[in-house]
């Protein structure tokens, strides 16, 4: 129970009835003095409580208890404090004592019952509420609380009996009848369930819901003919009554009349009274689970029919497109539906992404840019859109535009963006900057990529390789490259990078060991011209000129026409790039 729940009630009680039961004094004068002291400090405590100074209020109430230990109103005020301090037994004891001292105070009982409930002492709470129905029989809430506890503990008969007593206090009501009907249904009591609903239906003849619910109850208990008759009577009065239409669908399903089931479902789906959420829920359930919907062609016809409705077309188109995708319809069949959906709801992210997915599958880079641009208008914080757009621009040889796209996405991406994706976009930015000749910008991008994912293998390899080409920071490059061959020890590209950095550090024999591992992992046709040049250079530095010439010639056969390679072959010796 919250500490403040009974603030107003307790304050009123305290102001009206400041009891001093239990004051022991030697003379009447002493008793009067103690009474005044108690009243003064008690009022101070209530004032502190009202101002929200609970600690001071508690201390003052305890001081009052030293003066008058058995004042019921004081005990009542103290109990919530002890409950708040997790001293539940003491709180309950205080309230029991308050009730003992003032047995006709309803609020003392009510707080004690609440304490019992909050501490899962349901049997004690029930016993107390039962006593309260005798002592405070005019308090309707007591019957409601008691019936609720009986319901919670599965004692439905006693819950109904308690509600019957409440009806004698308050009179028959719609809410009480609904509660009793629910309880009778839990007991599978057909006769009384029907009686309660029949009485509600008679009491509220213009509320067709109760007549439909009566039909549902007959259907539940197997009296299908009576149920059907009730549904048809309701639909005769209101042909578009949603509850009756829905119940009639259940009736046809129970009786396995799938032709009428289909007609009834379609009538419900086109009912303009049906709210959007229910329409879509029924539609999704229908196309997923109903036997008539085993026919994909039927479902397509139904969707096309529903798309002509003057309402909920965007929501229907969304389900329609999802259905076609789930059934593996080809792009040319799904795309028109997606376009219709996007005309109705241009911000629909899933539809945008499906169109983008198709463009990616076709490698249609121009369309990828268009799709991403549209999606970015509505979702500027989604980094994946900039990722795909940047890649498309790169493949269209629009390198500067790719760089601008990557940078814009990184600047706008949402805080919760997956760190690996951020790292990958920085990696692409670095690759593209390097192609543009912006070496420093490339390295800055790579550094940022490694901040978000220190194990980004592609970045580690490229960063290390580019440093090796410049003979720059080779020890750092070697450290980065080593991580790549640890992660993927049989990846030729990573092995080549590591061997080439060792070569740059003049650790030629180690470099040769990795070059030979590279050869063992690759077929001749899998070795690129660059790899063959590197292997030849390594063999040359290790003194094996025959092997060096073998791989230099392979590089030349693969199309390397560089002058430096020709001079290496002609002079049969290693020549560093840039040397005459």
Residue 91 banded pLDDT, cuts 50, 70, 90: very high
Q: Is 54 helix (H, G, I), strand (E, B) or coil?
A: helix
- Identify the DSSP state of 272: T
Distance CA 284, CA 295 (A): 15
Summarize the confidence of residues 308-335 as an average pLDDT.
Answer: 94
- pLDDT value of position 24: 46
How many Å apart are CA 218 and CA 210, to the nearest integer? Answer: 12
Do 531 and 518 form a contact (C-beta atoms < 8 A)? yes
Q: If you search the block for the tokens 């009907």, which residue do you land on?
A: 181
- pLDDT of 46 above 70: yes
Rounded CA gap, 158 and 163, in Å? 9
Lookup: tokens for 164:
């019957």
Per the CB < 8 A criterion, the answer to whether 279 and 269 are in contact is: yes
The structure tokens 């029991």 sit at: 96
What is the spatial distance between Cα 428 and Cα 403, in angstroms, rounded to a whole number? 9
Interval 190-219 mean pLDDT: 93
pLDDT exceeds cutoff 80 at 368:
yes
**Lookup result for tokens 């005309």:** 343
- Would you place residue 296 in the very low, low, confident or very high pLDDT band (cuts 50, 70, 90)? confident
What span, in angstroms and rounded, lies between the C-alpha atoms of 364 and 375?
A: 16
pLDDT for res 33 = 78
Q: How confident is the model at residue 324 (pLDDT cuts 50, 70, 90)?
A: very high
Query: Can you tell me the distance from the alpha carbon of 177 to that of 220, in angstroms, rounded to the nearest whole number?
Result: 19
What mean pLDDT do residues 282-300 have? Answer: 80
Report yes or no: 372 and 386 within 8 Å, Cβ to Cβ. Answer: yes
Domain extent listing, the chain: 1-119
Q: Which helix (H) or strand (E) holds 361?
A: helix 349-362
Q: What's the chain's length in residues?
A: 580
Q: What is the DSSP letter of 290?
A: -
> What digits encode the pLDDT tens for the residues 462-509?
999 999 999 999 999 999 999 999 999 999 999 999 999 999 999 999
Contact 64, 72 (CB under 8 A): no
According to CATH, the topology of domain 1-119 is 1.25.40
- Residue pair 406/390 in contact by the 8 Å Cβ criterion: yes
Question: What pLDDT is attached to residue 525?
Answer: 66
pLDDT value for 4 = 33
Would you state the structure tokens that stand for residue 448, as one six-digit string?
A: 């940022």
Contact 356, 368 (CB under 8 A): yes
349-362 and 365-378 helices, crossing angle to 10° = 170
Long-range pairs of 187-190 with CB within 8 A, sequence gap ≥ 24? 187/156, 187/157, 190/217, 190/221
- Residue 397's pLDDT is what? 96
Is 478 or 291 the better-scoring residue by pLDDT? 478
- The span from the CA of 36 to the CA of 29, in Å, is 11
Question: What confidence score (pLDDT) does residue 3 get?
Answer: 34
- Quote the mean pLDDT of the chain: 90
Per-residue pLDDT at 171: 86
pLDDT at 21: 40
Instruction: Report whether 474 contacts 455 (CB < 8 A).
Output: no
Q: Is the model's pLDDT at 548 over the cut of 90?
A: yes
Considering only CA atoms, which of 463, 458, 493 is closest in space to residue 476?
463
- Report the pLDDT value the prediction gives residue 580, as an integer from 0 to 100: 40
Q: How far apart are CA 92 and CA 506, in angstroms?
A: 84
Helix, strand, or coil (residue 39): helix
Cα distance between residue 238 and residue 231, in whole Å: 10
pLDDT at 290 over 90: no
Instruction: Out of 212-216, 255-259, 385-389, pick the least confident.
Output: 255-259
CB contact burial 248-279 (16+ within 10 A = b; e otherwise): bbbbbbeeeeeeebbebbeebbebeebeeeeb
Share of the chain above pLDDT 90, in %: 79
Mean pLDDT of 40-52: 89
Whole-number Å distance between alpha carbons of 247 and 389? 51
* Nearest-angstrom CA–CA distance, 466 and 481: 11
d(CA 457, CA 459): 5
- Secondary element (H or E) of residue 118: helix 106-118
Cβ-contact 146, 126 below 8 angstroms: yes
- Cα–Cα distances in angstroms (integers) from residue 321 to residues 21, 328, 356, in the given order: 77, 11, 14
Render pLDDT for 4-18 as a digit per residue (tens, 0 to 9).
333 334 443 443 344
pLDDT at 340: 95
Helix (H, G, I), strand (E, B) or coil at 310: coil
Q: What percentage of the chain carries pLDDT values higher than 70?
A: 93
The DSSP element (H or E) to which 243 belongs, if any, is: helix 242-254
Q: How far apart are the first and last CA of the chain?
A: 90
Instruction: Name the pLDDT band for 29 (thresholds 50, 70, 90).
Output: low
Average of pLDDT values for 84-113? 93
Query: How many C-beta neighbours within 10 Å does residue 30 have?
Result: 12
Residue 34 has pLDDT above 90, yes or no: no
- Among candidates 395, 346, 394, which has minimal Cα distance to 371? 346
Q: Of 439, 373, 454, 386, nearest to 414 (Cα)?
A: 386
């Amino acid at each position: 129970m919250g500490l403040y729940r009974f603030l107003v009630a307790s304050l009123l009680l305290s102001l009206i009835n400041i009891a001093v039961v239990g004051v022991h004094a030697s003379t009447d004068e002493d008793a009067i003095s103690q009474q005044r002291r108690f009243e003064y400090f008690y009022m101070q405590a209530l004032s502190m409580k009202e101002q929200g100074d609970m600690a001071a209020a508690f201390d003052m109430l305890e001081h009052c208890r030293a003066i008058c230990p058995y004042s019921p109103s004081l005990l009542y005020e103290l109990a919530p404090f002890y409950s708040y301090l997790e001293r539940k037994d003491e709180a309950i004891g205080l309230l029991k004592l308050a009730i003992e001292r003032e047995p006709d105070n309803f609020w003392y009982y009510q707080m004690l019952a609440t304490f019992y409930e909050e501490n899962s002492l349901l049997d004690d709470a029930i016993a107390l509420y039962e006593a309260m129905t005798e002592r405070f029989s005019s308090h309707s809430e007591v019957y409601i609380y008691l019936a609720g506890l009986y319901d919670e503990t599965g004692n439905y008969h006693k819950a109904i009996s308690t509600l019957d007593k409440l009806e004698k206090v308050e009179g028959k009501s719609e809410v009480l009848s609904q509660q009793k009907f629910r309880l009778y249904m839990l007991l599978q009591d057909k006769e009384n369930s029907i009686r309660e609903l029949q009485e509600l239906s008679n009491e509220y003849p213009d509320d067709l819901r109760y007549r439909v619910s009566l039909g549902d109850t007959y259907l539940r208990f197997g009296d299908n003919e009576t149920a059907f008759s009730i549904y048809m009577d309701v639909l005769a009065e209101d042909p578009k009554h949603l509850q009756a239409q829905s119940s009639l669908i259940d009736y046809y399903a129970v009786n396995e009349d799938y032709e009428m089931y289909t007609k009834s479902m379609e009538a419900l789906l086109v009912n303009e009274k049906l709210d959007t959420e229910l329409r879509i829920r029924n539609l999704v359930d229908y196309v997923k689970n109903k036997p008539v919907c085993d026919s994909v062609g039927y479902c397509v016809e139904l969707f096309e029919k529903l798309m002509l409705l003057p309402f909920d077309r965007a929501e229907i188109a969304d389900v329609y497109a999802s259905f076609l995708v789930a059934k593996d319809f080809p792009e040319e069949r799904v795309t028109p539906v997606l376009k219709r959906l996007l005309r109705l709801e241009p911000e629909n992210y899933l539809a945008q992404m499906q169109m983008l997915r198709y463009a990616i599958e076709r490698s249609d880079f121009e369309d990828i840019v268009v799709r991403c641009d549209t999606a970015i208008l509505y979702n500027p914080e989604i980094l994946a859109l900039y990722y795909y757009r940047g890649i498309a621009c790169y493949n269209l040889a629009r390198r500067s535009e790719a760089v601008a796209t990557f940078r814009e996405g990184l600047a706008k991406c949402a805080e919760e963006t997956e760190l690996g994706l951020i790292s990958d976009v920085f990696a692409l930015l670095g690759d593209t900057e390097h192609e543009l000749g912006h070496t420093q910008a490339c390295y800055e991008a790579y550094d940022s990529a490694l901040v978000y994912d220190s194990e980004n293998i592609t970045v580690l390899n490229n960063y290390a390789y580019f440093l090796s080409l410049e003979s720059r920071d080779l020890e750092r490059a070697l450290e980065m490259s080593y991580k790549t061959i640890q992660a993927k020890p049989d990846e030729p590209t990573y092995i080549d990078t590591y061997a080439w950095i060792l070569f740059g550090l003049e650790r030629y024999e180690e470099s040769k060991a990795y070059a030979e591992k590279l050869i063992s992992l690759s077929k001749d046709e899998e070795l690129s011209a660059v790899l063959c040049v590197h292997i030849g250079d390594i063999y040359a530095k290790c003194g094996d000129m025959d092997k060096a010439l073998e791989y230099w010639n392979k590089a030349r056969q693969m199309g390397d026409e560089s002058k430096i390679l020709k001079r290496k072959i002609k002079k049969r010796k290693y020549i560093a790039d840039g040397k005459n």
